[in-house]
């Protein structure tokens, strides 16, 4: 029971890296901010986890893991409530930073409680389901529900930890971290940076641009964790280095596939995400084993790898957010021009063309306020269900807009593919040290 | 080689296949529709008053856009500030361009035989007098005048 509660808290702490992705449009509209400004809601959390984890490496051996876990859960619980009641973006970002500090403490303290294998599986699962979970909560309630839902999970974990006596877990003796964990952690940082493309960007595309419901989007994106799980037996049969090289190459290839999406094509996205998932399933377990000291240095090595992974996420977001901020508005304007061209040239009568155009103006005004507009609605309202020409114009307009905005993410996906390619190069360069670990 | 390595090679081959499919679907080409050059004549629907009016208005917008060195679409959107497209020209310049474009498109419609002489005359008067925004919003006044 205690382990289950702690495992749920660990999954949530990992999920928090990506859980607010689908709430970003709502936050963007609510706080009247910029793309870069709203991206700090994600960056602040991951940066706080990374910095706290690196700091913890220095003295984690002096603290009982149970106390670390309990302290982390308390901080995480309080910060989650603060996030939920935020009335300004600055306060939300500050609360997210504190939440990240709590997450780093609880992730470090939970390692000896859960064991390395379960901790890795729960963490990967949490990170993969984060965007879908956040999207469902945002759709069902609003963005605040994401943080409200985390509080009881942290509270249950805290109760379980306190009841099981924190002194049960023995602290670690100070000893230097072996140098062999550095290449593995560097590769993991790069692979997690690449994951920003497969998780964050792909989810945003499916739901915010292609207009899928969060549940529909979750179904599409589930190709990634499913493929990661399916790749585990293959990973067990491959030489370890080949699994890492192949995994990094597949992740890079899948991200190139996402970058080259020609239109809003679900099956191409599922194909690309499955390749990304297979790549992660092959490379991450091998690198995680190499990054963790399974002996008495477990907590310190685990803390280091938490820091490395979140640093990878932060670096990727720091590169991608300004890239998207520069590309998306221009793509939005281009999409608007293309949509206008479709509507002007559509073979439909003025009695429908003019009212549809006037209604579309309202929809585009919504888009500028941060709300994903339903561009099909003006056509449906004026009889697209019974008018094939109007329905064709609707589909052509949606296709033109979706294709144009989908391509605006191209350079960001290529950056993420670059992260995976760099991990491959490093794994090739450090093959001896990775093989020894 | 181990069978597992062959499976990995097959997975890597699917990356190449995926990229091939995407390139085949035009991943590197500009997505349709391409914004047409307004200075080059383009065909339009004819037949029926509605189609004729639309062609006159669209040809007129093309003429105006050509004068303003922009696209027809940007010109139209500049009349809807809520879309975020800013007007790059002052009101007088736009009015002169649109009225000139419309008058020329009426001339061409008359020459094609799409517009009878009496209607062409009335349309010219309308273009000279009706507020520009109303002309852009689909030529409803013209359509009403022609009895639709």
Please compute the mean of the pLDDT values over residues A353-364 and round it to a whole number. Answer: 79
Q: Decide if A362 and B82 are in contact by the 8 Å CB cutoff.
A: yes
**pTM, to two decimals:** 0.83
Spatial separation of the C-alpha atoms in residues A78 and A68, rounded to whole Å: 16
Contact A96, A17 (CB under 8 A): no
The pLDDT score that the predictor gives to residue A268 is: 96
Q: What value of ipTM does the predicted structure carry?
A: 0.84
Residues 6+ apart with CB under 8 A from B78: B85, B86, B87, B88, B89, B94
Give the dihedral sign, CA A360/A366/A367/A372.
Answer: negative
The model's confidence at residue A94, banded by pLDDT at 50, 70 and 90, is very high
- Residue B104 is predicted with a pLDDT of 92
What is the rounded average pLDDT of the residues B105-117?
A: 89
Task: Please give the mean pLDDT across all residues of chain A.
Answer: 86
The answer to whether A391 and A385 have CB atoms below 8 angstroms apart is yes
Note the pLDDT of residue A437.
Answer: 62
Highest mean pLDDT: which range of A307-321, B39-53, B80-94:
A307-321
Q: Are A409 and A201 in contact (CB under 8 A)?
A: yes
Inspect the interface and report whether the beta carbons of B19 and A362 lie closer than 8 Å: no
Chain B contacts in chain A segment 297-356 (CB below 8 A): 332-333, 336-338, 340-342, 344-345, 347, 349-351, 353-354
Cβ of A265 within 8 Å of Cβ of B25? The answer is yes
Contact call for B18 and A403, based on CB within 8 A? no
Nearest to B2 among A237, A261, A341 (CB): A237
Could you give the CA distance from residue B84 to residue A331 in angstroms, rounded to a whole number?
A: 13
The pLDDT value recorded for residue A178 is 62
pLDDT in tens, A120-168: 878 877 877 787 788 888 888 888 999 999 999 999 888 888 776 555 4
Q: Which of B12, B27, B143 sits opposite A262 (nearest CB)?
A: B27
Note the pLDDT of residue A254. 97
Band of pLDDT at residue B147, cut at 50, 70 and 90: very low
Tell me, yes or no, if A180 comes closer than 8 A to chain B by beta carbon.
no
Question: Per-residue pLDDT tens for B18-39?
Answer: 999 999 999 988 887 888 888 9
C-alpha A11/C-alpha A93 separation (Å) is 21
Contact by Cβ (8 Å): B127, B59 = no
Q: Which of A88, A67, A92 is nearest to A299 (CA)?
A: A67
């Amino acid at each position: 029971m205690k382990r289950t509660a702690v495992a749920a808290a660990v999954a949530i702490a990992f999920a928090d890296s990506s859980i607010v992705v689908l709430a970003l449009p709502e936050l963007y509209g609510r706080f009247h901010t910029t793309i870069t400004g709203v991206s700090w809601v994600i960056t602040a959390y991951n940066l706080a986890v990374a910095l706290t984890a690196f700091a913890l490496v220095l003295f984690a051996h002096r603290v009982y893991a149970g106390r670390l876990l309990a302290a982390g859960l308390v901080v995480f619980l309080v910060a989650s409530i603060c996030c939920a009641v935020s009335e300004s973006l600055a306060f939300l970002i500050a609360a997210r930073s504190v939440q990240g500090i709590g997450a780093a403490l609880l992730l470090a303290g939970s390692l000896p409680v859960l064991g390395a294998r379960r901790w890795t599986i729960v963490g990967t699962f949490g990170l993969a389901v984060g965007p879908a979970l956040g999207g469902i909560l945002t759709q069902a309630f609003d963005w605040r529900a994401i943080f409200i839902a985390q509080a009881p999970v942290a509270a249950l974990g805290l109760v379980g930890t306190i009841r099981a006596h924190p002194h049960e877990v023995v602290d670690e003796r100070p000893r230097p971290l072996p140098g062999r964990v550095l290449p593995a952690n560097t590769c993991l940082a790069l692979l997690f940076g690449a994951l920003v493309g497969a998780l964050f960007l792909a989810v945003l595309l499916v739901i915010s641009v292609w207009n899928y419901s969060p549940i529909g989007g979750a179904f599409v994106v589930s190709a990634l964790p499913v493929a990661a799980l399916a790749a585990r037996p293959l990973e067990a049969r491959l030489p370890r280095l080949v699994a890492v090289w192949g995994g990094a190459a597949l992740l890079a290839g899948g991200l190139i596939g996402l970058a080259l999406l020609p239109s809003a094509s679900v099956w191409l996205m599922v194909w690309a995400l499955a390749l990304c998932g297979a790549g992660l399933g092959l490379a991450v377990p091998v690198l995680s084993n190499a990054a963790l000291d399974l002996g008495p240095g477990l907590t310190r090595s685990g803390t280091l790898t938490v820091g490395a992974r979140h640093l990878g996420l932060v670096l990727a977001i720091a590169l991608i957010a300004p890239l998207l901020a520069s590309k998306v508005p221009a793509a939005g304007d281009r999409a608007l021009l293309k949509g206008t061209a479709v509507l002007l040239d559509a073979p439909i009568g003025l009695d429908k063309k003019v009212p549809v155009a006037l209604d579309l103006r309202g929809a585009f005004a919504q888009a500028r306020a941060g709300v994903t507009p339903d561009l099909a609605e003006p056509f449906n309202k004026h009889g697209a269900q019974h008018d094939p020409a109007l329905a064709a114009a609707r589909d052509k307009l949606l296709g033109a807009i979706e294709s144009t905005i989908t391509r605006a993410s191209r350079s960001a996906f290529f950056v993420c593919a670059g992260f995976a390619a760099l991990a491959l190069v490093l794994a090739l360069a450090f093959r001896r040290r990775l093989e020894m670990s | 080689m181990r069978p597992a390595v062959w499976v990995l090679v097959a997975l890597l081959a699917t990356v190449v296949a995926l990229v091939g499919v995407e390139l085949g679907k035009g991943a590197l080409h500009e997505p349709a529709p391409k914004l047409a050059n307004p200075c080059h004549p383009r065909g339009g629907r004819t037949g029926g008053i509605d189609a004729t009016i639309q062609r006159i208005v669209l040809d007129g917008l093309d003429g105006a856009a050509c004068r303003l060195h922009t696209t027809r679409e940007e010109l139209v959107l500049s009349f809807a500030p809520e879309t975020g497209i800013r007007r790059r020209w002052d009101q007088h310049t736009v009015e002169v361009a649109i009225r000139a474009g419309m008058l020329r498109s009426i001339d061409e419609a008359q020459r094609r035989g799409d517009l009878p002489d009496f209607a062409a005359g009335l349309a010219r008067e309308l273009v000279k007098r009706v507020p520009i925004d109303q002309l852009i919003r689909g030529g409803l006044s013209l359509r009403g005048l022609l009895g639709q």
